[in-house]
Chains A and B, each alone.
Chain A
Amino acid sequence: MFQRLTALANPTRFLGLVERLGPWLVGLTLALFAVGLYGSLVLAPPDYQQGETVRIMFIHVPAAWLAMFTYALMAVSALGTLVWRHPLADVSAKAAAPLGAAFTFLALVTGSLWGKPMWGTWWIWDARLTSVLVLFIMYLGLIALWRTIEDPTRAARLAAILILVGTVNLPIIKFSVDWWNTLHQPASVMRLDGPTIDPSMLWPLLVMALAFTSLLTTLHLYAMRNEILRRRIRSLGLAAAAGTAS
């Protein structure tokens, strides 16, 4: 696997891969969403307590899962930039940030829409909601950092450092916010004694999680392609300017 990663270091070869792989991924995403949505909206039974509103879970949980997964993806990319000096690592991190921010926003909004009928208010300062909000601010901060620095290579190193600092701080934030207040429903999927939710609800949830993940992968590849083109244009522009100047 590592050999393939270094093979991808060449942007042109990576662009070829995106051209070939892209359409297949789009097809896979659509198929997964079709099955997932059918499962979660039609097949899954209503919850005995929450009734139909439990169907919001089928998009809230995958969105929250992707919010964390994208940051982990960016952390690996940051390592790629600083440690292995992989040329596409920063492109991957910069392309992933807006996607991560969007899915975190989705997790917050769907959580709030789910909380209103169940807990009676749009927002409460409870542990998990608050740490996801802090994660959302970290994403926006990273995007702001990338937008203010002109030179991509310098921006790459600074953003990578900020991402790694964020990765170290995430568990600390999570613990301190938990200690500060906890009200959220305890984890019901990732539990030591196995998931407590009924299989009839579990499989649509897992399919929706797969659908969201493949959606993220597709968008991430295409966003990376855009970023590579943007950097090519920038270097071409600079070269042209330098050419005419000399």
Chain B
Amino acid sequence: MTGLLGPHAGFILASYAITLAVIAGLILWVRADHRAQRARLAELEARGVRRRSAAARGEAAAATATAAPEPRP
């Protein structure tokens, strides 16, 4: 491979390697950050902390369920 890339093959390979490393680093950082936020969100949900809109939906659903338990086939 290096023969193919001429005398300065090292520099070409190094620059492509560093580019790959930085891009891979960015992708891993975004994914890891996403997993961390999801985990903390799940933990907050587990502690029963609801968003206003979710809470509203939650009570509405609960109200309809208790008020009119439709006979399900």
Contact = CB atoms under 8 A, between A and B. Distances in A.
Q: Do chains A and B touch in the complex (CB under 8 A)?
A: yes
Which of B15, B18, B27, B37 gathers the greatest number of chain A CB atoms within 10 Å? B15
Contact of A233 (B14, B29, B40): B40
A106 B18 contact: yes
Contacts of A236: 41, 44, 49, 51
Interface in A13-29: none
By secondary structure, the A interface counts as helix
B22 A106 contact: yes
A229 B15 contact: no
A229 B22 contact: no
- Interface size bucket, A side? 35 or more
B26 interface: yes
Interface residues of B, number: 30
B11 A114 contact: yes
Contacts of B27: 219
Contacts of B37: 226, 229-230, 233
Interface of A: 46, 51-53, 55-56, 59-60, 63, 98-99, 102, 105-106, 109-110, 113-114, 116-117, 215, 219, 222-223, 225-226, 229-230, 232-233, 236-237, 239-240, 243
Counting from the closest, the 9 A-B pairs by CB-CB distance are: A229-B37, A52-B6, A117-B8, A113-B15, A110-B15, A240-B49, A226-B33, A52-B5, A51-B6
Given A219-B30, A226-B34, 9 more contacts: A51-B8, A53-B6, A98-B29, A106-B18, A223-B30, A226-B30, A233-B41, A240-B47, A243-B49
12 contacts: A51-B6, A56-B12, A56-B15, A102-B25, A106-B22, A109-B15, A219-B26, A223-B30, A229-B41, A233-B41, A233-B44, A236-B41
